[in-house]
Amino acid sequence: MRNVIILGSGCAGNTAAIYTGRAGLNPLVVIGHEPGGQLSLTTEVENFPGFPEGINGPDLVANMQKQAERFGAEYVFGTVTEADLSKRPFRLNIDGEWQECQTLIIASGASARWLGLPNEQKLIGHGVSSCATCDGAFYRDRKIMVIGGGDTAMEEANFLTRFGREVTLVHRRDEFRASKIMLERARANPKIQFLLNTVVEDIYDVTQKTVTGVKLRDVKTNRVWDQEVDGFFLAIGHVPNTKPFVGQIDLDPDGYIVSKGGARTNIHGVFHAGDVQDRTYRQAITAAGAGCMAAIEAERLLGEGH
Ligand code: NAP
């Protein structure tokens, strides 16, 4: 029986582990299907306080884990497939093995969203990717396309110009969610072309088992055309990782945990931290802050003997 189990090893989970570890609660951190969370898929992080020159995302998150381990946090590879939160101790099925805990911190984050095109899933790893940092280097001197109009799309498009001959950014509107600074940076990059008011209708070519091009449609004129592409990168946001908790924890219509104030969920003893609940800020620093809040709430609850 654990005092606290933390689900997720991103900024939120690691910070919760540092705090609960330091409070002597010997937390167990379940690493999840994306070790290190979203920071492990980024390059340079320029806005995490304390690093005036910026810091490499994977290094930042690895440092956090080291810091938590120093205070006795234990990390295990695995994902939760099933949970029983009907009473305490809570029970979690971690890759077939049930574990019990007094308090639970859900910091399982959110995973990349896909367009849902029939050929998309078949071509993942064969030209379709949701991670520019992971796969960009495969497209040296090739034609790259990035889908999305948020900060991620701008960041990835910029990053991919290091490799690609040209980068086309396709966005379904002509307004952007991206922050001004990120948008301006992408606009100023001569290797990036913008295709606005445009959607992807199909990805070719499953028979060749590699991406060769896409079918595009201008949503204003309905013009449809094919364009040659070698690397197809999705940057269209994320879906919260809350599947094992459906029907137990209050979730909003998109699956994000509904906060009951602070880090509290509708279940006494279950706390949320990071992108699994936060659909507004979604920053490394806010996730870290949320991990701290969840840890303090768990510590207080255990300290009060509830
Ligand atoms: P986001 O801000 O939610 O943007 C998602 C983009 O994908 C939007 O432009 C959206 O279009 C588009 N989209 C969504 N579903 C689509 C679909 N089915 N087909 C076509 N387009 C679709 O997500 P994000 O860019 O991943 O950013 C998430 C958060 O992380 C934000 O808070 C962002 O500021 C932050 N972030 C910060 C940095 C940084 O500061 N270094 C870097 C990356 C991310 P619509 O606009 O039309 O809805």
Q: Mind listing the pLDDT tens digit for each residue in 109-152?
A: 998 899 999 999 899 889 999 888 878 999 999 999 999 999 99
And the tokens for 206?
Answer: 């499953």
Q: Are 42 and 60 in contact (CB under 8 A)?
A: no
Ligand 1 pocket test: which of 45, 115, 151, 283 has the largest number of ligand atoms within 8 Å of its C-beta? 151
Please give the average per-residue pLDDT across 16-25, as a whole number. Answer: 98
At 38 the pLDDT is: 85
Please give the average per-residue pLDDT across 150-172, as a whole number. Answer: 96
| Residues having CB within 6 Å of any atom of ligand 1 | 47, 113, 115, 147-153, 155, 172-173, 177, 235-237, 282
At 306 the pLDDT is: 66
Catalytic one among 134, 226, 250, 254? 134
**Residue 204: beta bridge partners?**
213
- Give tens-digit pLDDT for 70-107: 999 999 999 999 999 999 999 999 999 999 999 999 99
Q: Cα(24)–Cα(196) distance, rounded to whole angstroms?
A: 53
Nearest residue (CA) to ligand 1, atom 38? 151
Catalytic one among 135, 151, 275, 278? 135
At 111 the pLDDT is: 87
Q: Cα(24)–Cα(38) distance, rounded to whole angstroms?
A: 28
And the tokens for 270?
Answer: 């279950």
11 is catalytic: no
Nearest residue (CA) to ligand 1, atom 29? 282
Q: Cα(122)–Cα(142) distance, rounded to whole angstroms?
A: 21
At 244 the pLDDT is: 96
134 is catalytic: yes
Task: Report residue 41's pLDDT band, with 50, 70 and 90 as the boundaries.
Answer: confident
- pTM, full prediction: 0.79
Q: What is the atom index within ligand 1 of the atom nearest the CA of 148?
A: 7
Catalytic one among 59, 95, 101, 131? 131
At 86 the pLDDT is: 97
